[in-house]
Structure 1
Amino acid sequence: MGKIKELQTSLANKIAAGEVVERPGSVVKELLENAIDAQATEINIEVEQSGVSSIRVVDNGTGIQTEDLGLVFHRHATSKLDEDDDLFHIRTLGFRGEALASISSVAKVTLKTCTDNEEGQEIYVENGELLNHKPAKAKRGTDILVESLFYNTPARLKYIKSLYTELGKITDIVNRMAMSHPDIRISLVSDGKTIIKTNGSGRTNEVMSEIYGMKVAKDLVHITGDTSDYHLEGFVAKPEHSRSNNHYISIFINGRYIKNFLLNKAILEGYHTLLTIGRFPICYINIEMDPILVDVNVHPTKLEVRLSKEDQLFELIVEKIREAFKDRILIPQNDIDKLNKKNKVLDNFEQQKMDFEKRKQQAAQTHHDKVQRSDGETEDKAFEQSAPSEAMTTNNFNHSYIKEEPYSDDAYTQSQREILFDMDDVQEASVDQLDDTSDVKGSVSQDPTRRVPYMEIVGQVHGTYIIAQNEQGMFMIDQHAAQERIKYEYFREKIGEVSNEVQNLLIPLTFHFSKDELILIQQYKEELDKVGVHLEPFGGHDYIVDSYPVWFPKAEAEEIIKDMIEYVLEHKKVDVKKIREDAAIMMSCKKSIKANHYLKNNEMADLVNQLRETEDPCTCPHGRPIIINFSNYEIERLFKRNM
């Protein structure tokens, strides 16, 4: 008798469940995708004990017809595919027909459903078998309850993490689904407590504010772009909101959340030197494309996909993120609590005008009363002291900041003091009102087109940080980081102009490679020759290099050559642009002012003026901030002058 036999259906489903249903979050993901495919506009998720005890998903979608209920929990039963060609034009989130069969094989499932033309139905499935089917009262849509997850596979149950960890995974899945489908009202309730609730407005940035908070949402920048094959749209947060891991990068293709190393790399390349090494941005990117360009059927959980024309998409992402931050002021403010902050100046102009008019009327009334008991000179002085001049106030309304009188307690200056302005508002502001101090020693020249605002040099702290001020408040400037940025952009330009001239080494460098590395080296030897790295056989597995390009920093030539060869072995290509970029960063760092180096006021002003001429004056090449702003409001709060 033969040894090969076909597995029982229940056993096959449990094996499949090991790939599809890894944890409670996997169940939530699959049921959410089914609800979205059913054209639901409202989806409510309830979990008990982080989904281990029960998961309930209720939607108002199209529902399931009575005649289909017998097949719902069969493996590879789906309404999404009819022919082989359909596999290459997939626009739905679920299509493999594995989810419900896998879930029912490791849990107890109760499903209620109702369509427009039929009465409600209820079925109960346990261990993959349909045990009960009866009519039931149900609203249009589907209500599915999953209980006792992994009750019959205790080996998997013991690998469930803590309840907090599992709830975090569920929350993360719901967050991403909500971002990619902002037009659907989605709520998540855990043990009776609401965790997430979106309004279905269709605005992704509103969903992101619900997830990441208003502080991040306020600093989101919208990006959009097209090629012949791709349409890209999304939001990227300013670099100051970076995180220590890439968990906050959300990429979607045709509304499907995916993970893709190359696209993650494109996002980081887009931020370039705006991010510190080891930091990652908060961003949401949705890519619309013809389904034939993407294969979503390469992994059971459908998280990993294969893309056509990846290079084209890579360049589009890099270009649009760089454009998003190209002309923006990215000077971070310190993290003092801003309880009374007003987000936009324009929202407060009308109130200020009303306050001024009220103040003016009160002054006029005072003026009128005093006419009857004193001379005109006293009256005029009383009016001048009661309100600022109309011309000055009108000027202030045309500017993005107002000179504050921090020691005054009158109502008008108090209303001014409560306003804390965004740097974007300052960028759009008129600069006509600023004093012309460009010729004063120790002042930074004024130019409204630059991303570093006008400021006056005050002094230096520990020979390391430059202190400057303007009407927005106080600024601290890292002098090393500032000169690093200046020199980096200079070296980057100069290195790019250098030809492949080489300089001979007095003592050749010797490199030893393994057999598999030798194959790659031989394959890419011509590319290495083109960038000035000439590898010559030296017997056995050894190669020597007896010259290097003149644009290499002399002291680091050996290190750069090693890096180039290692880059070829790892990435199987030669990236001259990246190598020259790294060289420019290295040279700028070593040749910049160090800490504890004291400068004169005119030297500090000259340094900041040069910084204002750079393309990205807000971060050094390593992504560290160069300038930090302390607003007048924050300084007053530190000294308890404004509570």
Structure 2
Amino acid sequence: MGKIKALQTSLANKIAAGEVVERPSSVVKELLENSIDAGATEINVEVQEAGVASIRVVDNGSGIEADDLSLVFHRHATSKLYDDDDLFHIRTLGFRGEALASIASVAKVTLQTSTDGIDGYEVYAEEGAILSQKPAKARQGTDISVTNLFYNTPARLKYIKSLYTELGKVTDIMNRMAMSHPEIRMSLISDGKKILQTNGSGRTNEVMAEIYGMKVARDLLHITGETSDYEIDGYIAKPEHSRSNRHYISLFINGRYIKNFVLNKAVVEGYHTLLTIGRYPIVYLNIKMDPILVDVNVHPTKLEVRLSKEDQLYTLIVEKIREAFQDKVLIPKNDLDKHQPKKVLKQFEQQKMAFEERQQASSTTDDREYKSDDKAQQTPIVNETSNTYTPVSQTEPTPVDDVQHTVSSQNAEASDDYEQYAQAQREVLIDMTTSEALEDETPQSVNESTVQDAPRVPYMEIVGQFHGTYIVAQNDTGMFLIDQHAAQERIKYEYFRDKIGEVTNENQNLLIPLTFNFSKDEQLIIEQSRHELEKVGIFLEPFGGYDYIVNSYPIWFPQEEVEEIIKDLIEYVLEHKTANIAKFREEAAIMMSCKKSIKANHYLTKNDMAQLIDQLREMQDPFTCPHGRPIIINFTNYELERLFKRIQ
């Protein structure tokens, strides 16, 4: 008797479930995809105990016809594929038909559905088989309840993480689905508490405001671009909102959430030198393409995909992200606003009115009450009713406008009326979208000119230097701190980067050649990489044994630092064993700029400080050093007033 036999259906389903249903969030993902494919415009998800006890997904989609109910829980039964060619033109989120069969093999499933909102049916499945089917009252769409997940696979249940972790996974799936389908109203309720609610307006930035908060949403930049094969559309957050991992990079292909190492790398490369090492951006990017260019059938959960012409897409993403930041002011703003929205707006409206009344009264006040007009402009007046101080200044900006733009969604729960607050958020984002302010918005603290060619670094007056490290400057909007080392590092980096990229034969001969000695293993690396050094103008000539000499150097090398620069570049080659000339040039420029810049505790004259800022103003990216650290920090007048308790 032979040893090979077909697996029992129940066993085969459990094995398939091991690939598809890893945890409660896997169930939510599969059911959400089915609802979206059914054309739903509203999807509500409820979970108990993070989905381990129960998961319920209700949609208003097309529903399931009565004749199809017997195949709903049958393995690999689908309405989305008919022949082999369809596999290469997939435009739906689901297509293999294994989801419901896998879920029903490890949980108890109740399905209610109706195609017209009049005649409905209820199906109950367990152990991968339908146990009952009967007519029932059901509204238009499908209502699926999944209970006792992994009740018959205790080994799988054993590896479920804490309920907090599992709920985080469920929320993450909901967030990404909501971002990729903003036209669908979605909600998530956990143990009776609302976690997520979107309005289905079709605006992705509104969904991102709900997920990440208004502070991030205000600093989103819209990017678009296309090639002959790809079209991208998305939102990227300014570098100041970076995170400690790649989890906040959300990539979608034709509306499907995917994970792709190469595309993640492209996003990070687009932020090059704008983020510090170990920090990653918040990005939403939807990529549209002909389905024939992508294979989504290479992973059981369909998260990983295989792309054609990946290099073309990589270049497009990098270019569009860099273009988005070219004309933007990226001076970090301070997070000093933690108010409840209604209370604060009301309070500052009162202060504004009181301020205007005092300002009007002050214009008729006898000059004898003040020592001088200048001093009068700077004298604070006590607000006895609110116990706060309000400075009298003709140019002082009122804080009301600032507050209206610094309320985050995290304060929504503290608000007395969440719905009114959420509506206010949506109205702000709608205004930003329709006026294209979202793409062009710059921090209010900078007070940029509306002229297109205005410098990105605002005009500022030098006040002095702090600890020989930071330049203190000011203008009408507030105070600025400039890291002198980071500023010169950026200036020198852009200079070296451009010069290293110019492959020319313009070299300066040395009267006395420079001699460099290496070990045997170092000589082997040098011999392999000599052509890379030659591409940046360094020509090493063997001089017997393990010695090399250099007879010339590029004319753009600082004469007093020629030997040190050449030595640094050679050491870089020895350390990295590089064979990538583009990467070598980039890293060499960063290395040279760091070593040749002003160090901390180095005191400068006001003229030197002014000259440094003038040079910084001419840079392509004047807000971060090559390592991604900020160069300029801004404290607005309003923030300083709050720090000193002049306002609340």
TM-score normalised to structure 1 length:
0.81
For 1:554, the equivalent position in structure 2 comes to 566
For 1:382, the equivalent position in structure 2 comes to 364
Q: Do the aligned residues in 2 keep the contact of 1:234 with 1:283 (CA within 8 Å)?
A: yes
Between the aligned partners of 2:220 and 2:83, the Cα distance in structure 1 is 43
**Is the counterpart of residue 635 in structure 1 residue 647 in structure 2?**
no
Match for 1:124: what amino acid?
Answer: Y
For 1:253, the equivalent position in structure 2 comes to 253
Between the aligned partners of 2:319 and 2:378, the Cα distance in structure 1 is 41
The alpha carbon displacement at 1:496 in A equals: 1.4
Of 490, 493, 506, the residue aligned with 2:495 is 490
For 1:171, the equivalent position in structure 2 comes to 171
For 1:104, the equivalent position in structure 2 comes to 104
Q: Do the aligned residues in 2 keep the contact of 1:121 with 1:138 (CA within 8 Å)?
A: yes
Percent identity between the aligned chains?
67
Matches within 5 A, 1:110-259: 110-116=110-116, 119-259=119-259
Match for 1:507: what amino acid?
Answer: N
Between the aligned partners of 2:605 and 2:522, the Cα distance in structure 1 is 52
Between the aligned partners of 1:601 and 1:411, the Cα distance in structure 2 is 28
Secondary structure of residue in 1 paired with 2:279: coil
Match for 1:13: what amino acid?
Answer: N
**Is the counterpart of residue 472 in structure 1 residue 477 in structure 2?**
yes
Match for 2:630: what amino acid?
Answer: P
Match for 1:416: what amino acid?
Answer: T
Secondary structure of residue in 2 paired with 1:97: coil
Between the aligned partners of 1:473 and 1:531, the Cα distance in structure 2 is 44
Q: Do the aligned residues in 2 keep the contact of 1:112 with 1:143 (CA within 8 Å)?
A: yes
**Is the counterpart of residue 55 in structure 1 residue 37 in structure 2?**
no
The alpha carbon displacement at 1:534 in A equals: 11
Between the aligned partners of 1:533 and 1:96, the Cα distance in structure 2 is 58
Instruction: Give 5+ residue unaligned stretches, structure 2.
Output: 343-348, 368-376, 382-389, 406-440, 508-512, 555-563
Sort the Cα spacing of 1:482 and 1:340 in 2 relative to 1 into closer, same or farther, 3 A: farther
Secondary structure of residue in 2 paired with 1:69: helix
For 2:333, the equivalent position in structure 1 comes to 333
Between the aligned partners of 2:609 and 2:530, the Cα distance in structure 1 is 48
Residue by residue, what CA displacement relative to the aligned partner does 1:335-378 show, whole Å, maximum 9, x if unpaired?
A: 22253999xxxxxxxx99x979x979x97xx9xxxxxxxxxxxx
Matches within 5 A, 1:372-451: 382=364, 407=381, 408=390, 416-420=398-402, 423-425=442-444, 429-430=448-449, 449-451=454-456
**Is the counterpart of residue 507 in structure 1 residue 517 in structure 2?**
yes
Match for 1:561: what amino acid?
Answer: V
Between the aligned partners of 1:127 and 1:65, the Cα distance in structure 2 is 23
**Is the counterpart of residue 298 in structure 1 residue 303 in structure 2?**
no
Instruction: Give 5+ residue unaligned stretches, structure 1.
Output: 343-350, 367-379, 386-402, 433-446, 537-542, 568-573
Sort the Cα spacing of 1:414 and 1:600 in 2 relative to 1 into closer, same or farther, 3 A: closer
**Is the counterpart of residue 13 in structure 1 residue 23 in structure 2?**
no
For 2:2, the equivalent position in structure 1 comes to 2
The alpha carbon displacement at 1:8 in A equals: 0.8
For 2:608, the equivalent position in structure 1 comes to 603
Match for 1:619: what amino acid?
Answer: T
Between the aligned partners of 2:216 and 2:161, the Cα distance in structure 1 is 30
Number of matched residues? Answer: 568
Sort the Cα spacing of 1:535 and 1:266 in 2 relative to 1 into closer, same or farther, 3 A: farther
The alpha carbon displacement at 1:547 in A equals: 7.6
Q: Do the aligned residues in 1 keep the contact of 2:110 with 2:145 (CA within 8 Å)?
A: yes
Of 582, 589, 592, the residue aligned with 1:584 is 589
The alpha carbon displacement at 1:554 in A equals: 2.2
Sort the Cα spacing of 1:157 and 1:169 in 2 relative to 1 into closer, same or farther, 3 A: same
Q: Do the aligned residues in 2 keep the contact of 1:480 with 1:595 (CA within 8 Å)?
A: yes
The alpha carbon displacement at 1:329 in A equals: 0.6
Moved more, 178-187 or 220-229: 220-229
For 1:369, the equivalent position in structure 2 comes to none
Match for 1:193: what amino acid?
Answer: K
Sort the Cα spacing of 1:67 and 1:481 in 2 relative to 1 into closer, same or farther, 3 A: same
TM-score normalised to structure 2 length:
0.80
Between the aligned partners of 1:98 and 1:513, the Cα distance in structure 2 is 59
Sort the Cα spacing of 1:300 and 1:500 in 2 relative to 1 into closer, same or farther, 3 A: farther
Sort the Cα spacing of 1:462 and 1:187 in 2 relative to 1 into closer, same or farther, 3 A: same
Q: Do the aligned residues in 2 keep the contact of 1:20 with 1:26 (CA within 8 Å)?
A: yes
Between the aligned partners of 2:601 and 2:533, the Cα distance in structure 1 is 42
Sort the Cα spacing of 1:32 and 1:489 in 2 relative to 1 into closer, same or farther, 3 A: same
The alpha carbon displacement at 1:556 in A equals: 2.4
Q: Do the aligned residues in 2 keep the contact of 1:510 with 1:545 (CA within 8 Å)?
A: no
Between the aligned partners of 1:11 and 1:248, the Cα distance in structure 2 is 37
Between the aligned partners of 2:469 and 2:497, the Cα distance in structure 1 is 25
Secondary structure of residue in 1 paired with 2:18: helix
